[in-house]
Structure 1
Amino acid sequence: MTVQRKLGEATNVHERNVEDAILRVPQWRGRAATYAPLVGGLMNQNWLVELAGDPRRYFIKVPGEGSEMFIDRVAANEAARNAHAMGIAPEVIFFDAQDGLEVSEFLEGYRACTNADFGDAAIQSDVLGLYRRLHAGPRLSLTKTIFDMIEEHIEQGRELGAHFPHDMPWIVHRYGQAKAAFIASGLDLVPCFNDPMPGNFLIGSEAAPKPMRLIDYEFASNNERSYELGVLFAEMFFDEQLTARLIEQYLGAVRPEMLARVIINRALADVKWASWAVVNRKLKDWDFDYQKYGVWKYMRARDVMYDPRWESWLRMI
């Protein structure tokens, strides 16, 4: 059962951290507040805060130890503020660039999506519409492509002495082929979300429909447009037929070269997140099975990389 506490009632280090965070928000000083934990968030502690006399509730994200290895908090805050200005994200109330503490409005009347929700054609359409708006927005100060991400995680893993799969040299070779093809053809850089976990997409209830919202911009950067689609379609387990239909919906047409770019990026997305898991497995004993997650992601990347069409996809890019 979720326990709601008042300021001064902290019983553990996480509760003391959120109490310190509440006291750091200038406009909240001197006001009575209560807080309760929220589920979710692998790399942070998430909290719901209520203030006496305030009709709004607030979401506090307290960055987790070690998360700075993966997240540029200043860039994430920039992306969140841009997205709010476009009407697709909650308002950021307070941000401290020193440690990444962020406070935003809590979106009432919404629930987080699940993988099952993404089987709904209406939700698929809403996601693509939201992405079109995001991708047409202002460029971010941070450009971090899928190639930057993969190479960063591999280097981090090597420095930590992490255990990569026995065929990692072959995976890296395939990765190098894909990178060379994309660099030769040119990157289509747009502001990207980069982290399409279902829970980051919020929808209203059937009784009270609301426009979809997107939360948690920790991995946002300027990146290759087709990567944004590739990682989304991979995360949602969409097959090639549905992938082609959704590309057509997003772009207005499905061209062979775009389909090839998206499919190759499905593999790159799995290499990226598998390597991220390899690194996290070495950092600390998280309450998440990074070992299993990484093994599965590398396995799924191989499925695309072993496909006999791999070379033809690279040529089409």
Structure 2
Amino acid sequence: MKQIGDATTPLEQALERAVVKAERFRDRPLRYAPVYGGISNSNFRVRLEDEPQEYFVKIPGAGTEMFIDRRAAFDASRKAAAAGLGPTVYDDLYDDGIEIHDFIADRRACTNSDLAREDTRLAAIGAYRKMHAIEALTLKKTVFDMIDEHVDQVAELGGWLPPDYTWLDRQYRLARSALEASGLDLTPCFNDPMPGNFMIGTDGSIMLIDYEYASMNDRCYDLGIWFGEMFFTPDQEAELIEAYFGEVRPEIVSRVTVHKALADVKWSLWSFVQQKVSALDFDYFKYGQWKLMRLRSIMNAPDWAMHLSRV
């Protein structure tokens, strides 16, 4: 781990400039090291030499202000922490949009393999039920708001769109029309189920971290994006729907399936925005292509029209 003054990269310099401003770190000997795995921001583990608690510090990535409301992220982090679902968050650098929260060293980040196990899946769906029951968030942002935002940003930045975008947009409009006709079930949603955002303890319990994309959204979007991210089988999805709702009804399956496709629309467009603005070493174009392939597999399936009709 490095000390203040040892920075050799622009990201480390940004971290050092930030921590010396934070009240809990100012004028105290500390060490820091990068935490790898994020695809939007630069993350660091900070250790004060005179106390056992370590901290996680998130430096916002370039361009992320285009789609992340940092004040809303703080709001969601605080409310999740109050419910025992996330780590304690501190306000030292609130005005700079820099998050500081407890580093939960007694837990580790999940992998897809962890969430392929039934017990971990059920613990995670329990975490979702808890998330959806916390106090209402200040930010209302549905998947429709997210997609429309990214469409405008791609156009403004001169970003790439796939050759079949006209068809894709038509499917998005059909899905939006069907869901809006049936009514949105708004609840506090996590909206960002990368495996590494699920922190598992030795007892098998799950905490959630990283509430940057959290908002009031349709609960079936939260389930659909998670199911897609984990590549759950239809049987596994049915198991989780039953665990969450107490039953498996055709309209719930369809609603989750449609949201699964919409999540890939959102994140493919997000990737083409990031391709233009991010300074991180990550292949956003490849990431977006992968999302496009998966959403086409859902929208081109023979049962797509059926799912739209029964949401």
TM-score w.r.t. the length of structure 1 is 0.95
Where does residue 104 of structure 2 map in the other structure? 107
Structure with the bigger RCO (C-alpha within 8 Å, sep 6+) is 2
Where does residue 241 of structure 1 map in the other structure? 235
SS in 2 for 1:231: helix
SS in 1 for 2:5: coil
Rounded to whole Å, the distance in 2 between the matches of 1:76 and 1:59 is: 15
Where does residue 208 of structure 2 map in the other structure? 214
SS in 1 for 2:160: coil
Contact 1:201 1:214 in 2 (8 A): yes
SS in 2 for 1:136: coil
Q: Deviations over 1:176-199 (max 9, x none)?
A: 001001111100000000000000
From 264, 268, 289, give the equivalent of 1:295: 289
Rounded to whole Å, the distance in 2 between the matches of 1:298 and 1:53 is: 49
From 6, 18, 21, give the equivalent of 2:18: 21
Where does residue 197 of structure 1 map in the other structure? 194
Q: Which runs of 5+ in 2 are unaligned?
A: none
Where does residue 275 of structure 1 map in the other structure? 269
Would you say 1:148 and 2:145 are equivalent positions? yes
Contact 2:23 2:92 in 1 (8 A): no
Q: Deviations over 1:121-154 (max 9, x none)?
A: 0000011001001101111110000111111111
TM-score w.r.t. the length of structure 2 is 0.97
Bigger Cα displacement from structure 2, 43-52 vs 142-151: 43-52
Where does residue 73 of structure 1 map in the other structure? 70
Q: Which runs of 5+ in 1 are unaligned?
A: none
Contact 2:198 2:207 in 1 (8 A): yes
Would you say 1:60 and 2:54 are equivalent positions? no
Q: Residue type matched to 1:216 in 2?
A: D
Deviation of residue 279 (structure 1)? 1.3
Rounded to whole Å, the distance in 2 between the matches of 1:18 and 1:28 is: 12
Deviation of residue 29 (structure 1)? 2.1
Where does residue 224 of structure 2 map in the other structure? 230
Q: Deviations over 1:294-316 (max 9, x none)?
A: 11111111111111212221111
Q: Deviations over 1:75-112 (max 9, x none)?
A: 01110110000001100123534331111111022111
Bigger Cα displacement from structure 2, 216-225 vs 235-244: 235-244
Rounded to whole Å, the distance in 2 between the matches of 1:8 and 1:287 is: 24
Contact 1:77 1:95 in 2 (8 A): no
Alignment length (residue pairs):
311
Contact 1:261 1:313 in 2 (8 A): yes
Deviation of residue 226 (structure 1)? 0.5
Would you say 1:311 and 2:305 are equivalent positions? yes
Identity of aligned residues (%): 48
Deviation of residue 210 (structure 1)? 5.6
Bigger Cα displacement from structure 2, 154-163 vs 26-35: 26-35
Q: Residue type matched to 1:241 in 2?
A: D
Rounded to whole Å, the distance in 1 between the matches of 2:267 and 2:222 is: 14
Rounded to whole Å, the distance in 1 between the matches of 2:264 and 2:40 is: 19
Rounded to whole Å, the distance in 1 between the matches of 2:261 and 2:138 is: 27
